[in-house]
């Protein structure tokens, strides 16, 4: 069976290399080392002559894609169809009957077809926007039939290493668009399968995960005393709320009054606003309730607890700018603390204060990857978490702790 290592080593003087899985499929050498031409040799069921059909160049057309095309051709032959004749007929039909779609037009059609099935509004908004940002400027106006591997590599290369996760999503959406084109009979083959051969290897996901610089928990009371209290504006109030509740900034920024029950001292974040798409309850401590009552007076005419001056959801950059402006120290050399990092600060405090790990994990709304543990954690331990969150909020706003630390 032909493998990439062998295909990549092909020399201009080498003889054709048999694939080993599809009868007649071979990789022929070209003038360039490591590049080959896929050809399937067959006997035409129409003319009974020996013929060769090409499936493109390697590595542009990957081994698996060549096998898929080879198997399709063999299926046609078994039905008495000459794949070369069928290809020419298909090309003529496409030119005469089908409009020539650009990549942009094809992507917009795919988006229109798929969006009704997406429940995640964020995904719905981002699907086409990522293509508008990265793909359309380079190949948006190019006919779908002419899109090739170098075009896709040109789109991905600028973000392949710097924005690996974004690049992955852009690649997936280009792949969906090209597959749609194949299914519609607008082109033959999906060039996305060969793009990895033109791009460097990405670091593993574990390496790509960025550490969010966190403020050492013992320094938090002094920072709040000096830069946040009194929390007399939206940004200060939001940051203090994020710190005391240990929630993600996005969950706090989008918080609405209808989610809070101050009498029962609980905030219920709907599943639609949670990262894991699971409803999350947050026990409200005394200091948090006091902060919310002050915010109620300041934001009486808004559904949002922390609205921007224009009445919309604040951006995360508002917190980032505030922390940079006040030089919030962190555990990462050369970087200031981030709003998300306060969740790590809370975790460290909870651990050193002797609270059970599962309580802290639930407070952070972390999904349980261990399925055995997840089976036992069927409750959100709301009441058990109350003392922990009360003590945490009391600690971070205590001036007594400023003197000690």
Distances (CA, A) of 321 to 247, 316, 317, 324, 327: 19, 9, 6, 5, 10
Question: What per-residue confidence (pLDDT) applies to 87?
Answer: 86
Q: Outline where 81-163 has alpha helix (H).
A: 83-97, 103-114, 121-130, 136-139, 149-156
Structure tokens at 142: 């190019």
Question: What per-residue confidence (pLDDT) applies to 374?
Answer: 46
| Beta strand 50-58 pairing with 260-261 | unpaired
pTM more than 0.75: no
* Count of beta carbons in the 10 Å neighbourhood of residue 319: 23
d(CA 375, CA 346): 25
Peptide bond into 323 cis (omega under 30): no
Question: What per-residue confidence (pLDDT) applies to 209?
Answer: 47
Domain boundaries, the chain: 4-97, 103-208, 217-404
Question: What per-residue confidence (pLDDT) applies to 375?
Answer: 42
Phi/psi at 54 (5° precision):
-95, 145
Distances (CA, A) of 74 to 23, 148, 179: 8, 25, 21
Q: How far apart are the first and last CA of the chain?
A: 66
Rounded to the nearest 5 degrees, what angle is found at the Cα of 173, between the Cα atoms of 172 and 174?
A: 95
Choose which CATH entry (3.30.360.10, 2.102.10.10, 2.40.50.140, 1.10.150.130) describes domain 103-208: 1.10.150.130
DSSP 137-150: HHHTTSBGGG--HH
Question: What per-residue confidence (pLDDT) applies to 326?
Answer: 95
CB 153 within 8 A of CB 162: no
Query: What's the CATH number for 4-97?
Result: 3.30.160.390
Query: Taking the chain (405 residues) in consecutive chunks of 10 residues, what is each chunk's mean pLDDT?
Result: 91 93 94 93 90 92 93 91 86 64 94 84 83 94 91 93 88 93 83 86 59 89 92 92 96 95 95 89 96 87 91 91 94 90 93 90 77 53 94 91 55
d(CA 224, CA 241): 11
Superfamily of segment(s) 217-404: Intergrase catalytic core (1.10.443.10)
């Amino acid at each position: 069976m032909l493998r990439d290592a062998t295909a990549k080593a092909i020399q201009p003087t080498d003889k054709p290399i048999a694939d080993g899985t599809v009868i007649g499929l071979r990789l022929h050498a070209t003038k360039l080392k490591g590049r080959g031409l896929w050809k399937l040799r067959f006997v035409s069921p129409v003319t009974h002559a020996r013929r060769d059909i090409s499936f493109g160049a390697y590595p542009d057309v990957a081994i698996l894609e060549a096998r898929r095309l080879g198997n399709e051709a063999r299926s046609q032959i078994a039905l008495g169809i000459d794949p070369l004749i069928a290809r020419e007929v298909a090309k003529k039909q496409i030119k005469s009957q089908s409009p020539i779609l650009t990549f942009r037009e094809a992507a917009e059609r795919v988006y229109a077809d798929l969006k009704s099935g997406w429940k995640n509004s964020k995904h719905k908004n981002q699907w086409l926007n990522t293509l508008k940002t990265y793909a359309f400027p380079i190949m948006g106006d190019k006919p779908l039939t002419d899109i090739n591997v170098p075009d896709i590599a040109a789109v991905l290369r600028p973000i392949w290493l710097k924005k690996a996760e974004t690049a992955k999503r852009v690649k997936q959406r280009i792949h969906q668009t090209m597959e749609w084109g194949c299914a519609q009979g607008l082109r033959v083959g999906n060039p996305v399968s060969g793009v990895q051969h033109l791009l460097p290897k990405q670091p593993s996901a574990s390496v790509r995960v960025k550490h969010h610089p966190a403020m050492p928990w013992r320094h938090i009371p002094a920072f709040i005393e000096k830069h946040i209290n009194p929390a007399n504006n939206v940004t200060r109030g939001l940051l203090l709320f994020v710190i005391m509740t240990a929630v993600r900034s996005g969950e706090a920024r989008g918080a609405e009054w209808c989610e809070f029950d101050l009498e029962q001292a609980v905030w219920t974040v709907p599943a639609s606003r949670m990262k894991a798409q699971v409803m999350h309850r947050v026990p409200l401590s005394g200091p948090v309730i006091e902060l919310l009552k002050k915010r109620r007076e300041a934001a009486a005419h808004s559904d949002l607890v922390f609205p921007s001056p224009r009445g919309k959801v604040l951006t995360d950059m508002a917190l980032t700018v505030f922390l940079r402006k006040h030089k919030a120290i962190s555990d990462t050399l050369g970087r200031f603390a981030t709003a998300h990092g306060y969740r790590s600060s809370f975790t460290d405090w909870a651990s050193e204060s002797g609270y059970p790990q599962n309580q802290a994990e639930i407070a952070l709304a972390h999904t349980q990857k261990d399925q055995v543990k997840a089976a036992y954690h069927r409750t959100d331990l709301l009441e058990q978490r109350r003392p922990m969150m009360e003590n945490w909020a009391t600690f971070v706003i205590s001036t007594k702790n400023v003197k000690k630390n």
